[in-house]
Structure 1
Amino acid sequence: MAHNPTTEELQSLVLAARKLWELDTNRLKAGVDYAINLQDGKSMWQKGDAAAEKLFKGVKKEVWQRPTFLIFYNLLDNYERETGTVEQDTAQEKKEVSDFLDACLATPVMQYCQLYCEERGVGPKTLAEFKRALYQMWFSYYRRDGAGNDSCGFEHVFVGESKGDSITGFHNWVQFYIEEARGHVDYLGYVRPKAGRDASDDEDRLISVQFAWKGEEKNVSTFFVGTSPEFELALYTMCFLCSEEEKTYLEVGPYDLNIVCYRIRSKYGDKVATAYPDLIGEDPTNDLANMAF
């Protein structure tokens, strides 16, 4: 069943983001479907390991039977980690991208995103055309570092990249969980919020962390926890298409945040350079803050 955006939602990305959160029925339940262990906090400039244990205690095996989660998992090994290394698409990898977009577009979250962008006059009128637009902005390659096409928006945001001796992108909890389970990620502690509460807890849906990925550190990376792949894709896509601002203020669940979004200009359609949440604070009076998920 399609959820048509209301007149009020079309006038406000804040209200539209709240609706996306409400429609994310594929979101996992903290303490039921997964569990995290934040341990000690630190400032983003503080060095050293503030976490003796892993961030993720575990994720239920049944989660990987959900179509968007399973196909998303299959996409994560399709990319070269180092920027400057030209990306090559195989037929199987192209099929995995197509299957992922089809699975996302079958969900209420992405269908709402398509209708919303269409009604705002920034997106096509059919799901098939919207799929092509999503491919252009998220999966078509461009040059980030070097002479060839070595990056795309999906790789940067959801997978992460290595540039020199530092990590860029890497704003997705599923990738973090998988790489940590494989021993490739060393969780170094959570980064204390800049505003709002003094500390985070293991029920948080939006966290900032410091970590090392295959020996290269990232001072801070912020990502949602337990959200579905389609929710994040829809949220970032709506900000990318409906706002020209580099920072778009939203209220998602109990969180006040900005979605930071940069673009690569292209005559064939703009491409995502990066997109990620930047936590401002927590407001328990937000409409959906006390709903059980």
Structure 2
Amino acid sequence: MASENLFSWLKDDVLRRPTYSRFCALLDNYNPRQGYKELVTQQDKNEEAAFIEEIARSAPIKFLHRYLVLKGITSQDQKDFTKMLASLWFDLYGRGGCSGSSSAFEHVFVGEIKGRCRGEHEVTDFHNWTQFYLEESKGNVDYQGYIFPKKYGDHPDSQTQLLTIQFEWHGLLKSVSSTLIGVSPEFEIALYTRCFFAGEDNNHVHVGPYAINIKCYRMGVNKIGSAFPVAEH
């Protein structure tokens, strides 16, 4: 067990920024236990629409739209594009033996707990730093340490933006989880969406000084099953 939290501080205004506040509003909309059908309220739908509308104004999503249009993947029409984006991330699908129990957004950013049938439980995905920060501040996450690529130094600091960590969530272990630290919700949505539509299972990219493999796995034909960064040493 690590002696300290992963996050020691965060500027007060960060989570009040428009895309962050819309993102944070979504995080409590899900039952993290796999195999239980999600109950989607009208408020949930409104929050999803507000998030998509907000990030659509951002530079990363505008760049994504132009890129996908150039590749012939999506329409130039803004409404068609945002509808596609909302469907990709928020449409429910089956996981853990129950239809309508998961979505790309829930799995990648919020995290899920699998093992309903076998009696063995573990945390899956949960690759978002904002979710980690909020859950840690509530006492739901127990940070247990990190693996840091040696070529970037001996220890992470406030400038570090890629970490592989171990933690417990609600008392259940996530033995290895790679996370981009400090990046915006719209950046991650744009990056993973681009990899899904125009990439493969393994997508080798550079984010700042970091060489990263973005793992992007499909659920069926047209859904994101999982997407997360892995440091390339």
TM over 0.5: yes
Corresponding residue number in structure 2 for 1:182: 138
Counterpart pick for 1:201 among 156, 162, 165: 156
Corresponding residue number in structure 2 for 1:116: 67
State how far apart, in whole Å, the 1-side matches of 2:152 and 2:3 are. Answer: 23
Corresponding residue number in structure 2 for 1:254: 209
| TM superposition shift of 1:137 | 1.3
State how far apart, in whole Å, the 1-side matches of 2:14 and 2:156 are. Answer: 23
In 2, are the aligned partners of 1:64 and 1:70 still within 8 Å (CA)?
Answer: yes
| TM superposition shift of 1:64 | 2.2
Counterpart pick for 1:277 among 203, 217, 229: 229
In 2, are the aligned partners of 1:172 and 1:224 still within 8 Å (CA)?
Answer: yes
Counterpart pick for 1:131 among 72, 77, 82: 82
CA deviations 1:147-174 (Å, max 9, x no partner) are: 3211000000000000121000100000
**Counterpart of 1:174 in 2: which secondary structure?**
helix
Counterpart pick for 1:93 among 17, 39, 44: 44
Structure 2 stretches lacking a partner, 5+ long: 116-120
State how far apart, in whole Å, the 1-side matches of 2:42 and 2:102 are. Answer: 18
State how far apart, in whole Å, the 2-side matches of 1:57 and 1:98 are. Answer: 32
In 1, are the aligned partners of 2:148 and 2:156 still within 8 Å (CA)?
Answer: no
CA deviations 1:235-262 (Å, max 9, x no partner) are: 101111111x200110110000111001
In 2, are the aligned partners of 1:83 and 1:144 still within 8 Å (CA)?
Answer: yes
Corresponding residue number in structure 1 for 2:55: 104
In 1, are the aligned partners of 2:25 and 2:47 still within 8 Å (CA)?
Answer: yes
State how far apart, in whole Å, the 1-side matches of 2:64 and 2:155 are. Answer: 30
| TM superposition shift of 1:125 | 1.3
Corresponding residue number in structure 1 for 2:3: 52
2:231 counterpart letter in structure 1: L
**Counterpart of 1:106 in 2: which secondary structure?**
coil
Corresponding residue number in structure 1 for 2:118: none
**What percent of counterpart residues are identical?**
41
Q: What is the aligned-residue RMSD (CA, Å)?
A: 1.2
In 2, are the aligned partners of 1:166 and 1:218 still within 8 Å (CA)?
Answer: yes
CA deviations 1:79-102 (Å, max 9, x no partner) are: 001000101110000000000001
Where do 4+ consecutive residues of structure 1 move more than 4 Å?
A: none
| TM superposition shift of 1:212 | 0.2
2:228 counterpart letter in structure 1: Y
In 2, are the aligned partners of 1:204 and 1:225 still within 8 Å (CA)?
Answer: yes
- Give the TM-score normalised by structure 1: 0.75
State how far apart, in whole Å, the 2-side matches of 1:125 and 1:169 are. Answer: 32
| TM superposition shift of 1:198 | 6.2
State how far apart, in whole Å, the 1-side matches of 2:98 and 2:140 are. Answer: 28
In 2, are the aligned partners of 1:123 and 1:241 still within 8 Å (CA)?
Answer: no
5 Å matches for 1:70-85?
A: 70-85=21-36
| TM superposition shift of 1:128 | 1.1
| TM superposition shift of 1:187 | 0.2
Corresponding residue number in structure 1 for 2:12: 61
- Give the TM-score normalised by structure 2: 0.94
Corresponding residue number in structure 2 for 1:28: none
Is 1:143 the counterpart of 2:98? The answer is: no
State how far apart, in whole Å, the 2-side matches of 1:187 and 1:108 are. Answer: 33
1:140 counterpart letter in structure 2: D
Corresponding residue number in structure 2 for 1:172: 128
**Counterpart of 2:8 in 1: which secondary structure?**
strand
Corresponding residue number in structure 1 for 2:194: 238
**Counterpart of 1:212 in 2: which secondary structure?**
strand
State how far apart, in whole Å, the 2-side matches of 1:77 and 1:226 are. Answer: 20
**Counterpart of 2:230 in 1: which secondary structure?**
strand
1:61 counterpart letter in structure 2: D
